[in-house]
Structures are given as C-alpha cells and as structure tokens.
Amino acid sequence: MLGLPAHVRVCLFDLDGVLTRTAKVHAAAWKEMFDSYLRDRATREGTEFVPFDAVDDYDEYVDGRPREDGVRTFLAARGVHLPEGAPDDPPETETVNGLGNRKNGLVLRRIREDGVEPYEGSVRFVHAARDAGLRCAVVSSSANCRDVLAAAGIEDLFEERIDGVVAHERGLRGKPAPDTYLEAARRLGTDPADAAVFEDALAGVEAGRAGRFGVVVGVDRVGQADQLRAHGADVVVRDLAELLESR
C-alpha cells in the first residue's frame, strides 16, 4: 500500500533532502566555507584558486557524510591534509574540526534567517506509513538534526532519532558505513531485511546497500537518478508522494 515490499515494517529516513528542504542550505554553507578557505590558501601559496562545486563536489565528497568526514574527504581530493584538531576548535582554526565548525556556524545562520520547510510529499508519506502501522525513525549525519526537525514542525512523527550527536556518543561510523541505519533498526526492534531506507545522498544509499536493508529508496532531488541506482538504490523517485500514487 506504500509502494514498498510487503515485509517492510520499519521506515528509516534521512533528513536533509528527504524530509526537509535543507540540502541546498548545506551545499551553500559548504561552498561558502570551502571557497573562503581555498581562496586564502591559494593566496598564501601563490597557486590557482579552484572553487568548491556546490553540485559535483558536494554530491561526491560531502553529502550525507558526518561533518568532519566531509571536510577531510573533500580536502584529500584536493591534496590537502590538515590536522584533526579538537571538537571545540574555533572556526578560524586551520584544522578539520575548525573548518567543520566554521561550516556549522554558517548553516545555522542560514537556518535561523530562512527557516526550514519540510517536503509536503514526504510528510504525507510518513503519515501514511504510520497509519499503516510502520515504525519510523530519522537517520542523519547532522548534529543539528533535532533543531531542524523542530523548526520544520515534524519532530513528533518519529519514534527514534539517530543523528550526529548519537553517532558520536556511541562511536558509530558515519555514512557510507551502515552503522547509524543499523542502530536505528536495532532500536526499533527489526531486522535490516524488514526495513526501508530513504536517502537522497550517494553515501546514504551506499550505507543502505552495505547494511543489506530490505529496500533502499533513492530520492532524486537534483537529477542524479542514475548515480543513486549505481550506488545502491533499488527504487528511485523524485518525491516520496510518488510511492503513494503507485498504489
């Protein structure tokens, strides 16, 4: 009745880009942070400034990953390797944590100024899933997950929240490792084979495939349906409402 295999009993949703219209906000904050850093570094070293691509670089190196992993992965692709630093490094510090904190400040500012809007089709689907007796959880790499859910007015739709804060506390690896999704399934008392993963990030669908979940639904907001399938999506839709319409 939900466009899912009949044995699915649990739905595990990514946040940014699946439930809320915040993926573009994150991409813009990443670009602002990386461009500022890369420009300063190029000036210091007398090299060419090559800006961060908010589509290709974001999808390949950053989207869906924990913040520090995103910093580390993208900079490594540019041949830049920074010290890790400490979690409370100031945003001006030239460390992985410092740049991550700089990005976090930028995205929080944008969320405060612009607010958070949920995807109407996703909200409809979550309500339909709950009405059908399925249990629902949010699985996000963001440490700001709870604030975003509250700002979007959808926090009460989910029984569990596995986010960047929980992952840090429990030592869970971030996406594309399946750890956070497996933890959500465990907390909801189901085998991964009986759970559906909903993701818009390439790293996220890789996590769903690696965890051997019953079905991985790729949500294509930016025209990357082929890449989502290649990275592990069983089904690709542009909006979760399409699954309801397929009944």
Rg for the chain, CA atoms, rounded: 18
Token couple for 29: 């904050």
Asked whether 199 and 225 are in contact (CB, 8 A), the reply is: no
- Of 226, 221, 227, which Cα lies nearest the Cα of 242? 221
Catalytic residue among 16, 57, 89, 163: 16
53 is catalytic: no
Strands of the 160-162 sheet, one edge to the other: 160-162, 135-139, 10-13, 195-199, 215-219, 235-237
Q: Which residues contact 230 (CB under 8 A, 6 or more apart)?
A: none
Beta strands 195-199 and 160-162, pairing class = unpaired
Question: In 10 A of CB 134, how many CB atoms?
Answer: 19
- Of 81, 41, 87, 82, which Cα lies nearest the Cα of 67? 87
89 is catalytic: no
Asked whether 172 and 186 are in contact (CB, 8 A), the reply is: no
Burial class (CB in 10 A: 0-12, 13-18, 19+), 185: buried
Catalytic residue among 14, 163, 234, 239: 14
Asked whether 11 and 195 are in contact (CB, 8 A), the reply is: yes
Token couple for 234: 């069983």
Task: Give the residue numbers marked as catalytic.
Answer: 14, 16
